[in-house]
């Protein structure tokens, strides 16, 4: 009702705002683990070498947190890609429906076209598969970097 009152239904911004509010806590929670595992000694060493705060972040901390950042980005992308409820309720126009909503509403007059629904579901997963294959090394190192070390 809030999005309708400010005119954000049937718009991309109307979906971006709720997706961000749900994806941001997931990203922060996930990235906190990776940034906490970076040794503080490395940051101190960069300061002793005369690096500024931005140089320390850009040249020391960020490269060490890059696998966790890729992993988090892919998790957030998959969560937004597969989201159903907001896409169903916020965008009611046929031209603004997302793919998961379109697949769910795809039905024949008298029967369910299971073959077409299965084909559409496979086609929708192709971008995610390509993304995971492209960043496979970063994902594996990001997942293993987040493991508990003893």
Q: What share of the chain is helix, strand, coil (3-state, %, to 5)?
A: 75, 0, 25
Kindly state the helix (H) or strand (E) to which residue 98 belongs, with its residue range: none
Query: What is the model's pTM?
Result: 0.71
Q: What is the pLDDT of residue 103?
A: 86
Please tell me the predicted confidence (pLDDT) of residue 54. 92
Closest listed residue to residue 131, CA positions, set 71, 87, 68? 71
List the Cα angle 38/75/4 in 5-degree steps: 125
pLDDT at res. 133: 84
Q: What is the CATH number of domain 2-145?
A: 1.10.3720.10
Model pLDDT, residue 150 = 44
Mean pLDDT of the region 71-98: 85
pLDDT > 70: what percent of the chain? 91
C-alpha 121: how far from its chain's center?
Answer: 19
Q: In angstroms, rounded to a whole number, what is the distance separating the alpha carbons of residues 11 and 58?
A: 36
- DSSP designation for 60: I
Q: What is the pLDDT of residues 95-140, one digit of tens each?
A: 888 888 888 888 877 888 888 889 988 998 888 888 888 877 766 6
């Amino acid at each position: 009702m809030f999005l309708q009152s400010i005119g954000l239904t049937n718009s991309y911004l109307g979906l971006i705002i709720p997706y961000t509010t749900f994806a941001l806590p997931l990203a922060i929670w996930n990235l906190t683990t990776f940034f906490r595992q970076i040794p503080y000694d490395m940051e101190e060493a960069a300061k002793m070498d005369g690096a500024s705060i931005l140089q320390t972040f850009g040249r020391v901390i960020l490269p060490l947190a890059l696998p966790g950042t890729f992993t988090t980005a892919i998790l957030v992308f998959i969560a937004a890609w597969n989201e159903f409820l907001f896409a169903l309720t916020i965008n009611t126009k046929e031209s603004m429906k997302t793919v998961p909503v379109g697949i769910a509403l795809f039905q024949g007059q008298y029967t369910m076209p299971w073959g077409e629904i299965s084909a559409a579901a496979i086609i929708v997963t192709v971008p995610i598969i390509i993304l995971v294959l492209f960043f496979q090394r970063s994902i594996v190192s990001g997942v293993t970097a987040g493991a508990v070390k003893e």
